[in-house]
Amino acid sequence: MKFPKRYLVVILTFISTSVCYIERVGFSIAYTVAADAAGVNQSSKGTILSTFYYGYACSQVPGGWAAQKIGGRKVLLLSFVLWSSTCALIPLDPNRVFVMVIARLLVGVAQGFIFPSIHTVLAQWVPPHERSRSVSLTTSGMYLGAAAGMLFLPSLVKYRGPQSVFLAEAALGAMWSLLWFKYASDPPRSEHPKATAAGFGESMLPIKGSQKLKLENGGSSVRTAKIPWKKILLSLPVWAIVVNNFTFHYALYVLMNWLPTYFELGLQLSLQEMGSSKMLPYLNMFIFSNIGGVVADHLVTKRILSVTRTRKLLNTIGFIVASLALMAIPIFRTSGGAVLCSSVALGFLALGRAGFAVNHMDIAPRYAGIVMGVSNTAGTLAGIIGVDLTGKLLEAARTVDSSLSSAESWRVVFFIPGLLCIFSSLVFLLFSTGERIFD
């Protein structure tokens, strides 16, 4: 039996998100070690850690536009080449602040093109009844990459130094680029003649006014290349996705960037001594993301629930449970308790992605990259705000607890994303839909 090409494309996009998150976790680990050795304070660390997200925010919507105009496959390859080259060429030196800022901005801009491009590619290749599990598998690569980074990179830093992490990440990016260049392609339209109404199996590139597009009923219609920006930006279902994307990434980026510091300073634990337990929160995200995708596709395919109710159910369960777990993190003062709470929080946030994250393709399959760019801009702003704000909150807490070892020093850090999860789940319940609203 021939292995379907769309499966290969999904696997490659899964690997791409894994590599990207190895890079993000790797920088946070390597920079934290280098910055602590250089005596950099927590507020300054937060500023450098958040710089990536400024560049990332700037390129989200342009990334969706570029993927729409010249194709997600090409834009995705270009992104990997750019950020891998930056990692290979820029030295890690906390004392050279200007160089670090420019390097993180460049990596952020380059990686900002990745997810809009991936959504454009998946909207082309994946039929509607496979979208939940395909998107969940692809995005679960983020968590597997983060878990792998947390497991292996602290040892690499210990034995080879922080700079070795940059070189390893650049090598991974280069290897993925070669695989994508060799095996990825645009889908032939003729493979799926009955799916064009869903935006599946056809080119997502703009079609000029003089060109004809065959429709499902065998007729033809003229489509212009105009993107409905106003309708997208004024759509309540789009804003429901935007709000939830913001909250998801606020919680994820705060934990990703500050959990190592919480273990080291809040609980007085060494990352090296924690062994494999430090990767469990991200491994849990990988597992729950794929569970969410399979459950969502089962509910929709078997007609147990409508697409709209399926999205709302999984989003609500994921975000409400995550909110409770986030707010419980500072209550537990052991490594086991902190790992358990952060694992539950991140796992159920990943489950919630079968709600809001797949919803891009439900409401706008033809403009999935554009809508993803808009919502991921909000997610990136969450990184800028959350990571930097956490640094400032901790620096302020030093006036009371110089070692940051008390639960009170960290309470607000985890309560903010917890409360945001509750608010976002209510917004999604009220305003989201699983129906296609953009032609």
The answer as to whether 218 is a domain residue is no
Task: For helices 72-89 and 5-38, give the axis angle rounded to 10 degrees.
Answer: 30
Q: Which residues partner with 214 through β-bridges?
A: 220
Task: Classify residue 432 by burial, with Cβ atoms within 10 Å: 0-12, 13-18, 19+.
Answer: buried
Structural domain includes residue 66: yes
How many of the other CB atoms lie within 10 Å of CB of 236? 12
Question: Quick one: tokens of 379?
Answer: 């997610």
| pLDDT (average), residues 270-275 | 66
> What pLDDT was estimated at residue 193?
41
Range of 240's domain?
5-190+198-203+227-431
Percent of the residues in the chain that have a pLDDT greater than 90, as a whole number: 34
Where is 348: in which H helix or E strand? helix 335-356
Average predicted confidence (pLDDT) for the chain: 84
Q: What is the pLDDT at residue 295?
A: 93
Give start and end residues of each alpha helix (H) in 161-279: 163-183, 229-233, 236-261, 271-274
Q: Given pLDDT bands bounded at 50, 70 and 90, which one contains residue 197?
A: very low
**Mean pLDDT, range 316-329, rounded to an integer:** 96
**212 domain residue, yes or no:** no
Give this prediction's pTM: 0.75
79 backbone dihedrals φ, ψ, rounded to 5°: -60, -45
* C-beta separation of 246 from 319 below 8 A: no
Residue keyed to tokens 């020093």 = 409
CA distance 208 to 226: 9
Structure tokens at 180: 């994508």
Domain membership flag for residue 360: yes
Q: Over 60: is that where the pLDDT of 224 sits?
A: no
pLDDT of residue 69: 83
Distance of CA 364 to the CA centre of its chain: 19
Tell me if 208 is assigned to some domain: no
What's the CATH code of the domain at 34?
1.20.1250.20
Number of domains in the chain: 1
Whether pLDDT at 362 is above 50: yes
Question: With 90 as the cut, is the pLDDT of residue 282 above it?
Answer: no
Q: In this structure, what is the dihedral angle of CA atoms 123, 127, 129, 133, given to the nearest 10 degrees?
A: -60
